[in-house]
Chains A and B, each alone.
Chain A
Amino acid sequence: MSQDDRITMAHGGGGRASRQLIEEEIARRVGGTALRGLPDAATLVAPSGGLVFSTDSFVVQPLEFPGGNIGHLAVHGTVNDVAVAGGRPLWLSLGLILEEGLPLAVLRRVLDAVAGAARACDVEIVTGDTKVVPRGQCDGMYVNTAGVGAALPTLALDPRSVTVGDRVLVSGSLGDHGMAVMCAREGFELANAPRSDTGPVHRLVAAAAAFGHGVRFMRDPTRGGLAAVLDETVEGLAVGVRLEEAHLPRSGPARAVAELLGVDLLHVACEGRVVAFCAPEVAPEVLRAWRALPEGHGAVDIGAVVAEPGRVTLATLAGGRRVVDVPVGELLPRIC
């Protein structure tokens, strides 16, 4: 197929065109050993010690944005969900829903991103599915991935183990992904535009796993941002979180856009960050281990677990304190 080609309904018809698309474009790029025979299902040997299983769907617009594309997200999203649940990611499935008319060049870039990200995460794509829908029935393409990982034996992650005095760590700057996508979607032309932080956190999780039960709980702050993750974690618990605004890591470009639009970066999605609740004695060690990794070089301690049931607060730069709540709905530009 040539560079100018587009996806047609024939590519989803199950005939020769379908097979050609899958063999020449998809399997050639992303196929590991198990996918080579184009199976509808993969037969795998389960690791001992339990499995972690997760799935996620990706519908981002635009498909490509500064710092990555939907292919990177589809791998990192599921790898990270498996990782923060205490798993070492092993295998992914890849489901593609393609809109009739999607430029083949776009699909190729997305698939290359999937392949590159999977390699970098040391996961194998072992099964997949491709459907084509008529023009107008999806927005370019949607991607679903499901992932299976081996449970890391040393971790016992449970929000109920979070204790007063624990430290809250985050592996890097907040909200870059959400702001990058918002700028790309709205066509803001900025000299110094935010870049998505899309990336894997499994190595950060593995590094934290060395500290065993001192690591109480982890999450990746995606939709709803850090605020949503912290609020959900302490909901119904006898403890809360107190954040220090002075310590929150924020990149210059994301901050600038957030200030301009009146968006709180605490509510904005990251796609390559992890938040960990750690016992105070291991927190500095976890930070040191994270900072030794490229994806964790911006890791910081952002606050403490306190005896305030279910509440997340922020000690502001001005010296005041406020409740950090979850946004009611979507993030909207404000008039005031």
Chain B
Amino acid sequence: MTEITHHISEELLTAYAAGSLGQAFSVAVAAHVSLCLECRARLAAVEHVGGAVLDGLATQSVGGDLKAAVMAALDMPAPAEEATAPRRSGIYPGAVMAALKGRPPKWRALGAGIRQCIISEGPDGSLRLLYIPPGQAVPDHGHGGLEMTLVLQGSFHDETGQFGVGDIEIAAEELEHTPIAGQGLACICLAATDAPLRFRSWLPRLLQPVFRI
């Protein structure tokens, strides 16, 4: 296993721990942490600060019957849903499998051998998988807002560096980049944005307003 060199920023880890990241970014962060021991430890450190903040927080008095209700419920069986979280399957961490609802990805051809599986899409962001054949370039694309790209198989490189399995690229809105898949295995990436998708196929940019791409 190659060393992971591209990590998640302290700020994004804090936002994840605090619950202020949207669903798509949260999947990407949880998936990266699944693959990266360093970020697992850094997330634990962030949660320590969170715990210290919680301990020092101003209190809100709770109703007297709440404690009685909780104590009375201790012997009740746990709800079943807690045991059924999807687990890692092949190259896909549990958080990705959960987003896929436990099923394998359904790929759609985009042209030039590139495939895409849109997992979720909405005004607050999108989550999708990309499949890029070895050596293939993904044409220039900008993105509204922030984009996180996590490599799950193979590798890619672009103007900013080299990305292997477990590496995550955090690209700000300004970045116009041309990722090129490495040789060897096809590159499979998880891509999360906090803005609507800008490209879904190889249609020219000027058609974007018409086709919502």
Q: Do A and B bind each other?
A: no
Interface residue ranges, B against A (CB under 8 Å)? none
Residues of A within 8 A of B (CB): none
